[in-house]
Chain A
């Protein structure tokens, strides 16, 4: 027996088709098993980049050239900026070392290497006025060059540490962007910003003393149908497309304004880590979906479910089927007949509707829903064994016709011996081939069920990815049909199925020499 297995392995490896199939299967298994190491993003994390981002490698193609990836445009070291005091003789500036907690920094999407630990400390004395007056205090500006296509959206802001706010009605920040051609955009204008800007950029509405506070703003993310058409059909693009739509050198300014009160006021604060972060329109290996989630991450984790369910269901259903087939073929008589009748019944019941009912019922029960894939495998095995039993039984019957079984019986061999020595080897080939050939069916059905019931589980699966993509098909049509979202999961299903078919074909050839040279 071992010699034959070695031999079989050698023939398998020589068979080009079988090897290709096996290689692909191993590749996806690798992806599935090492998922957490292959991708650093959580598949459910939203806004890793701009929604509808194309894969990064697609930027080599002409229509996508120059599309921006995630990037931080300005230096985070505020002390290196051009800091100009406007309100002369009443302001002093100094610098220092900051230490902003990471949890607060996360708001700005920094990678840790970009964090600067310098801050600017400003002390202002404000005069008393009858009515509150607006006084411009400090103007910090920097320049950057931007040579990419415009992004859809960007995030911007800074971090503020108010030390002392005495008799000051309010202070706030005004952020301006000046394009290479000289156009000036007031980014903190409430007409164009998503949130009620006054709340975010001003002290009275949420900044706490003696803490680092993030001041964070984001451009509008409009509903894409409106974005495409606009009320008059002319199209309202994402705001990012307007403000950064030139290439060249931009000037970015943060201005600190204070409002006086009826008494003399004193304001002391620190600012640090300003940022202007572009949400990339190109990201990663497979881009992002409608919520900015990393598709590659979903893809890799999705491989787990598909491979697991497919392989386990395939292996167990065939093992059960083979066992029963051996049994039915060997015993003959009424027991065999009964087994075959049961097999026939199973083959007649429509499987997909039943599976749909099954999933609906299971998902009602919270406990069972957790382990739904386990129950799915059970269902697959229950309905998968009949097909195999038939085939194995026929094989056993035909094997029994051959002389050596009779001879063994005459020699006095007992049932178990005959099964082990004579029937089993003749059947193993069929078993291997059947396993390989039944897996694709299970993968496809599982994916179909995931497609129909995307909400059932937390884990991303290929079927669910396609289901969500389909849900947003209308939107996708405006983003180049979101080819990166639709193609990869479906293609993966096809390729994995094909690779099992190739493997099964090669196994079939090995164990069934009659077929060689097809």
Chain B
């Protein structure tokens, strides 16, 4: 796993430092260092010096790479540039990451629960009306563009009925305490709904397929022969066995889910990492973007790793191989 992470770091370096600077010949100092104040602004200049030194921006490519690796793995991501964000990148990330975690986390949990439950029931009632309707509905959700449903929801509920704010960040920034929490929750509703609708489709389809495979297995017939209630059969035996493929897919799809979050966050103005990464690209905030890429890639690698472990926990057959 660490090999992969290292290689990812290398590629990141190539994308953000080698390509623009070596190939297009721009001085990294301009894009990685925050704008300086006047000569007399000691503080800013100190920061500039620090950044240049720690990231090795003055050094030739190979030495800079060495500095880069050290910096990445000590979470020294440099300073925000470009005007939209300020301060050390690591701080910005820590500040806004919780929003993304809140949105993505809640959405994923809800999607999971819905898709597992409905997927199993659909597999059980395969071919009947419930299944047909569910299948078509979730296929539709699966093929829906995230920005489309997002726009429609915003159009109808925010601009039309005025039940939700058109821009989340504007709605709750500046508030604190209980006001903040209430406003946050109100602003969370639409993006959460939107993101869940999109993710639930894919999970449902996989769960349904997986459950269909499991239902035809002999041990399920056996459970029925033992006189187990249908609910037990569905949600103990079938669930346990059919959830396994879903896990692996989830880990792999983490990358895609994050990408989807960029769009959703941007449409609703939800100030998470996805939103800011889009702003960062617009304002050419290289340090932030570089850090964002790195973090996302590492997360995907880690997620894959965790999924492998989880699979072993749930499927004893794999455990024997350990």
Residues of A that sit less than 8 Å from B by CB: 344-345, 347-354, 356-357, 360-361, 440, 444, 447-448, 451-452, 463, 466-467, 469-470, 473-474, 476-477, 481, 486, 489-490, 493-495, 497-498, 501, 518
Contact = CB atoms under 8 A, between A and B. Distances in A.
Given A348-B4, A350-B255, A486-B155, A466 B143 contact: no
Q: Which of A347, A354, A357, A477: most chain B Cβ within 10 A?
A: A357
A451 B292 CA distance: 22
Contacts of B4: 344-345, 348
Contact of A345 (B7, B148, B259, B262): B7
Contact of B152 (A347, A349, A486, A498): A486
Given A348-B300, A473-B154, A481-B155, A357 B8 contact: no
Given A452-B278, A473-B159, A350 B145 contact: no
Contacts of A486: 148, 151-152, 155
Given A345-B4, A350-B258, A357-B289, A494 B155 contact: no
B59 interface: no
Contacts of B267: 470
Interface of B: 4, 7-8, 11, 15, 20, 139-140, 142-149, 151-152, 154-156, 159-160, 166, 212, 252, 255-256, 258-260, 262-263, 266-267, 277-278, 281-282, 289, 292-293, 296-297, 300-301, 304
A463 B277 CA distance: 20
Those 7 A-B pairs whose CB atoms lie nearest each other, nearest first: A352-B259, A490-B148, A497-B143, A477-B159, A470-B151, A350-B296, A451-B147
Contacts of A344: 4
B284 to A, nearest CB: 8
B293 A490 contact: no
A477 B252 contact: no
A451 B263 contact: yes
Q: Which of A350, A448, A463: most chain B Cβ within 10 A?
A: A350
B204 to A, nearest CB: 14
A350 B300 contact: yes
A39 to B, nearest CB: 23
Given A357-B15, A474-B166, A448 B146 contact: yes
A352 B262 contact: yes
A99 B152 CA distance: 51
Nearest to B158: A473
A469 B201 CA distance: 25
Given A352-B262, A493-B144, A498-B139, 9 more contacts: A344-B4, A348-B304, A354-B15, A448-B263, A470-B267, A477-B160, A493-B145, A494-B144, A494-B148
A351 B4 CA distance: 17
29 contacts: A345-B8, A347-B252, A348-B297, A349-B293, A350-B255, A352-B260, A352-B262, A353-B259, A356-B262, A356-B277, A356-B281, A357-B15, A357-B281, A440-B143, A444-B143, A447-B147, A451-B145, A452-B263, A463-B145, A466-B145, A469-B151, A470-B147, A474-B166, A477-B155, A490-B149, A493-B144, A493-B145, A495-B143, A498-B139
B263 A501 contact: no
Given A353-B277, A473-B155, A466 B147 contact: yes
Contacts of B147: 447-448, 451-452, 463, 466-467, 470
Contact of A476 (B142, B149, B155, B293): B155
Nearest to A487: B152
A452 B266 contact: yes
Nearest to B7: A345
Nearest to A490: B148
Contacts of B140: 494, 498
B277 A490 contact: no
Contacts of B144: 490, 493-494
Contacts of B260: 352
Nearest to B284: A360
Nearest to A445: B259
Contacts of A348: 4, 8, 255, 297, 300-301, 304
Given A493-B145, A501-B139, A481 B278 contact: no
B259 A494 contact: no
A287 to B, nearest CB: 16
Nearest to B254: A350
Contacts of B154: 470, 473
Contacts of B151: 466, 469-470, 473, 486, 490
Contact of B262 (A353, A360, A467, A494): A353
Contacts of A361: 20
A481 B160 contact: yes
A350 B297 contact: yes
Contact of B212 (A347, A351, A497, A518): A518
A350 B8 CA distance: 11
Contacts of A518: 212
Nearest to A440: B143
A486 B15 CA distance: 36
Q: Which of A353, A444, A452: most chain B Cβ within 10 A?
A: A353
Contacts of B15: 354, 357
Contacts of A473: 151, 154-155, 159, 166
Contacts of B296: 350, 353
A474 B159 CA distance: 6
Contacts of A481: 155-156, 160
A501 B292 CA distance: 32
Nearest to B303: A348
Contacts of A490: 144-145, 148-149, 151-152
Contacts of A448: 145-147, 263
A357 B140 CA distance: 29
Contacts of A477: 155, 159-160
B297 A501 contact: no
Q: Which of B20, B140, B147: most chain A Cβ within 10 A?
A: B147
B15 to A, nearest CB: 7
A345 B282 contact: no
Contact of B259 (A351, A360, A476): A351
A394 to B, nearest CB: 14
Contacts of A352: 256, 258-260, 262-263
A107 B300 CA distance: 59
Contacts of B7: 345
Contacts of B277: 353, 356
A466 B8 contact: no
A63 B281 CA distance: 45
A518 B256 CA distance: 28
B159 A351 contact: no
Contacts of A360: 281-282
B213 to A, nearest CB: 10
A447 B139 CA distance: 18
Contacts of A345: 4, 7-8, 11
Nearest to A482: B155
B148 A493 contact: yes
B82 to A, nearest CB: 12
A447 B281 contact: no
A476 B166 CA distance: 14
Nearest to A351: B259
Contacts of B252: 347
Contacts of A501: 139, 142-143
A494 B11 contact: no
Contacts of A447: 145, 147
